[in-house]
């Protein structure tokens, strides 16, 4: 019962973090936190600060890190050389009295086990995190800091579709969550699974396989990107798009393509960027300096050196007028105007006037990390 109550408490804190959005703000060389209206909630007194995650934020003072709650109260003393965002009930830290060694703490700041790891990465949906042993080998630990998959690998990648890339004796294969080889290590290079399929490098080039290691289709490619949005962008002489069976959806006729999001892929022709759909049709013709991937159905588009926002049909939501523009998170985006940072909503109206030296939003949760 106590365990269920504790988990509910953490989930409540996480929900509240969205109800009350707090942004890291910099003023006069110090960091604090403002709300969505630009009002100081936690005054700028820190040398550095990270966004809140699960109700807590890492803050730095006089060279060391600690954590605060939403009221600005320290949950522990400044005693960490490095401190990562809370991921549920745990955070990865490096204690100042054990330099180079990483461990876990709970939401009271208390250590979970001993800091004996050379490195720890973020936790996956499977509840496992890549960790590097004192001998330099990689394995996976759980949230109690115990080895679930023993450190025996020269390189790892996080779990995707239930499988993790692992390197043994200079060759790559895929592990399941029990640490057993689902696909034996026999490839020089591989790419993470997405939607049940992955690319591996064979003697004839990159090919598509399923989770049993069975080849799909007869095509091979010289350059590939991981599957995204149910398709993958690949290159032979030029770039095209293939489905999960490794068959062409869009013939290789493009100068460059990037992975699809929201049904569209960024495409470059003659040094100008546009967006295509999965049939290869131009939705946004190549006429822009740059386009960055969509978030919440909105892409960042650069024209004549300034950034604006465009929907997935190629319509301007906010005309290009910003020096810099971050992606939308929960309906808000951080932008830079006249060397100052503010926050806009999806109509382009400022909810926080551009008056801060720096702003930071909630961190992305879909980043991947290598372990080698």
pLDDT digits (tens, 9 = 90+) for 318-339: 999 999 999 998 899 999 999 9
Q: Is the pLDDT of residue 294 over 60?
A: yes
User: Measured over all CA atoms, what is the biggest interatomic distance in the chain, rounded to whole angstroms?
Assistant: 62
Q: How confident is the model over 274-295, as a mean pLDDT?
A: 95
> In the numeric block, which tokens belong to residue 30?
């110090």
Task: Give the residues across from 61 on adjacent strands.
Answer: 64
Q: Residue 371's pLDDT band (boundaries 50, 70, 90)?
A: low
Distance CA 211, CA 214 (A): 7
Terminal Cα distance for the chain, rounded? 40
Q: What is the pTM of this model?
A: 0.86
Domain ranges of the chain: 1-117, 289-360
Distance between CA 149 and CA 175 in Å, rounded? 10
pLDDT at 306 over 90: yes
Q: What percent of the chain has pLDDT over 90?
A: 88
Placement of tokens 């080849």 in the chain: 215
β-bridge mates for residue 164, sequence order? 159, 175
% residues pLDDT > 70 (the chain)? 92
Average pLDDT (112-131) is 95
Per-residue model confidence (pLDDT) at position 310: 96
The string of pLDDT tens digits covering residues 48-69 is 999 999 999 999 999 999 999 9
pLDDT for residue 17 is more than 70:
no
């Amino acid at each position: 019962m106590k365990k269920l109550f504790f988990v509910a408490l953490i989930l409540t804190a996480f929900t509240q973090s969205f109800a009350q959005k707090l942004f890291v703000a910099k003023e006069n060389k110090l960091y604090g936190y403002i709300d969505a209206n630009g009002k100081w909630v936690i005054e700028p007194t820190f040398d550095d600060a990270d966004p809140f995650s699960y109700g807590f934020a890492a803050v730095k003072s006089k060279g060391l890190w600690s954590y605060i709650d939403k009221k600005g109260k320290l949950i522990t003393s400044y005693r960490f050389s490095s401190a990562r965002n809370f991921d549920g009930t745990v955070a990865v830290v490096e204690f100042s009295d054990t330099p180079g060694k990483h461990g876990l703490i709970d939401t009271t700041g208390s250590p979970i086990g001993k800091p004996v790891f050379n490195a720890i990465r973020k936790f996956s949906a499977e509840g496992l995190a890549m960790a590097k042993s004192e001998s330099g080998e990689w394995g996976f630990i759980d949230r109690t800091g115990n080895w679930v998959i023993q450190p025996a690998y020269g390189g790892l990648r996080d779990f995707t579709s239930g499988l993790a890339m692992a390197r043994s004796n200079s060759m790559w294969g895929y592990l399941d969550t029990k640490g057993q080889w689902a696909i034996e290590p026999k490839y020089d290079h591989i790419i993470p699974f997405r939607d049940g399929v992955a690319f591996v490098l064979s003697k004839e080039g990159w090919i598509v396989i399923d989770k049993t290691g069975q080849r799909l289709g007869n095509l091979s490619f010289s350059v590939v990107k991981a599957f995204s949005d149910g398709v993958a962008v690949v290159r032979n002489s030029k770039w095209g798009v293939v489905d999960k069976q490794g068959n062409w959806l869009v013939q290789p006729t493009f100068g460059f393509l990037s992975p699809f999001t929201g049904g569209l892929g960024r495409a470059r022709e003659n040094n100008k960027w546009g967006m295509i759909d999965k049939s290869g049709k131009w939705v946004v013709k190549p006429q822009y300096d740059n386009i960055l991937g969509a978030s919440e159905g909105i892409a960042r588009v650069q024209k004549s050196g300034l950034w604006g926002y465009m929907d997935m049909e190629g319509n301007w939501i906010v005309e290009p007028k910003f020096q810099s523009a971050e992606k939308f998170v929960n309906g808000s985006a951080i932008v830079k105007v006249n060397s100052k940072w503010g926050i806009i909503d999806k109509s382009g109206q400022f909810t926080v006037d551009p008056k801060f030296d720096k702003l930071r939003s909630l961190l992305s949760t879909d980043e991947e990390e290598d372990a080698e």
